């Protein structure tokens, strides 16, 4: 029986590859969006505009304090009531963006705050505008603190795309879930799903470890 199910699994393997492609698509799009929004919010958060800081702080607390499943349900079920009807894929991206940018915002703000205050003073006394100070002096130095945890966060975000399956995006976990109904070999099916996830995230974990060692010096 086992061998029969195995050959069936090999037969529908292309289906899994399609799921992997979808996972990659969700992950890639949302990582770009999260990084962009996260950097902007992080810079604003480390500025000294009190109102903005509070606002972003509240948003970050919400995004970090509630489970991602609940956030997806909020985006997918409640936003339509408020007049924002989304398909599954954009809803997934929006939920990922809401969650991921909050985490990246914290990493960026932490990195910027880690830069010595004297650098700001030196930059401003060189006559740079606020934006130039950030772009030319502060961010390049903060990058050393930001990059290792950022790559670690990317791994977490890629893994979190699996939760998107609950609203019916046909990605890898969803494919596994659909398959297990037809091929009742849970261990085999989800081991395959796990191996495919492993093949994306393990290289990134190695990269993150490498960067951590490299940047520490």
Partner 1 sequence: MSAELIFHTHLVDMDDSMLANFNFRIIFEYMPLFLDGLKFTFLISLVALVLALITGIVACACRISGIKILKYPIIAYIEVIRSTPLLVQIYFLYFGLPTLGIRVPEIQTGIIALMLNSGAYIAEIIRAGINSVDQGQIEAGLSSGLNYVQRMRFIILPQALGVTVPPLLGQAIVLVKDTALLSLISVMELTRSGQTMTSERFMPAEAFLTVAFFYMCIYFCLKALADWSQRKLIFREAY
For residues 150 and 97, what is the distance between their CA atoms, to the nearest angstrom? 15
State the minimum distance, in angstroms, from the CB of residue 214 to partner 1.
17
Residue number, 101 or 133, with CB nearest to partner 1: 101
Q: Which stretch binds partner 1 (CB under 8 A): 31-39, 102-110, 122-130, 156-164?
A: 156-164
Q: What is the rounded (10 degree) CA torsion for 160, 165, 167, 169? A: 110
State the minimum distance, in angstroms, from the CB of residue 199 to partner 1.
9
CA distances, 70 to each of 26, 65, 134, 152, 192 (Å): 18, 11, 35, 23, 27
Q: Which stretch binds partner 1 (CB under 8 A): 27-35, 47-55, 131-139, 183-191?
A: 183-191
Structure tokens at 32: 């770009």
Query: Containing H/E element for 21?
Result: helix 13-45
State the minimum distance, in angstroms, from the CB of residue 189 to partner 1.
7
56 lines the binding site for partner 1 (CB under 8 A): no
| Interface positions, 63-82, toward partner 1 (CB under 8 A) | 64-71, 73-74, 77-78, 81-82
For residues 182 and 59, what is the distance between their CA atoms, to the nearest angstrom? 42
Whether the Cβ atoms of residue 208 and residue 152 lie closer than 8 Å to each other: yes
Whether the Cβ atoms of residue 99 and residue 32 lie closer than 8 Å to each other: no
Q: Which stretch binds partner 1 (CB under 8 A): 45-53, 106-114, 116-124, 189-197?
A: 189-197
Looking at the chain, which runs of residues are DSSP E strands?
A: none
171 lines the binding site for partner 1 (CB under 8 A): no
The footprint of partner 1 on this chain (CB under 8 A) covers a number of residues equal to 43
Q: What angle do CA 91, 97, 100 make, to 5 degrees?
A: 135
114 lines the binding site for partner 1 (CB under 8 A): no
| Interface positions, 6-35, toward partner 1 (CB under 8 A) | none
Q: Which residues bind partner 1 (CB under 8 A)?
A: 61-62, 64-71, 73-74, 77-78, 81-83, 155, 159-163, 165-166, 173, 176-177, 180, 184-187, 189-191, 193-194, 197-198, 201-202, 205
């Amino acid at each position: 029986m086992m061998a029969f199910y195995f050959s069936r699994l090999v037969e529908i393997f292309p289906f899994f590859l399609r799921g992997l492609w979808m996972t990659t698509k969700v992950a890639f799009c949302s990582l770009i969006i999260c990084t962009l929004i996260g950097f902007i919010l992080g810079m604003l958060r480390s500025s000294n505009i009190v109102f903005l800081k509070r606002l972003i702080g509240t948003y970050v607390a919400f995004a970090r304090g509630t489970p991602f499943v609940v956030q997806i349900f909020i985006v997918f079920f409640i936003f339509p009531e408020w007049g924002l009807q989304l398909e599954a894929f954009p809803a997934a991206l929006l939920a990922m963006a809401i969650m991921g940018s909050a985490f990246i915002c914290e990493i960026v703000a932490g990195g910027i705050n880690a830069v010595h205050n004297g650098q700001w003073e030196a930059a401003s006394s060189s006559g740079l505008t606020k934006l130039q100070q950030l772009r030319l002096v502060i961010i390049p130095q903060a990058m050393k603190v930001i990059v290792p945890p950022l790559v670690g966060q990317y791994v977490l975000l890629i893994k979190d795309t699996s939760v998107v399956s609950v609203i019916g995006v046909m990605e890898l976990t969803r494919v596994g879930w659909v398959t297990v109904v037809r091929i009742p070999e849970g261990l085999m099916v989800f081991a395959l799903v796990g191996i495919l996830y492993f093949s994306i995230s393990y290289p990134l974990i190695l990269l993150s470890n490498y960067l951590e060692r490299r940047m520490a010096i």
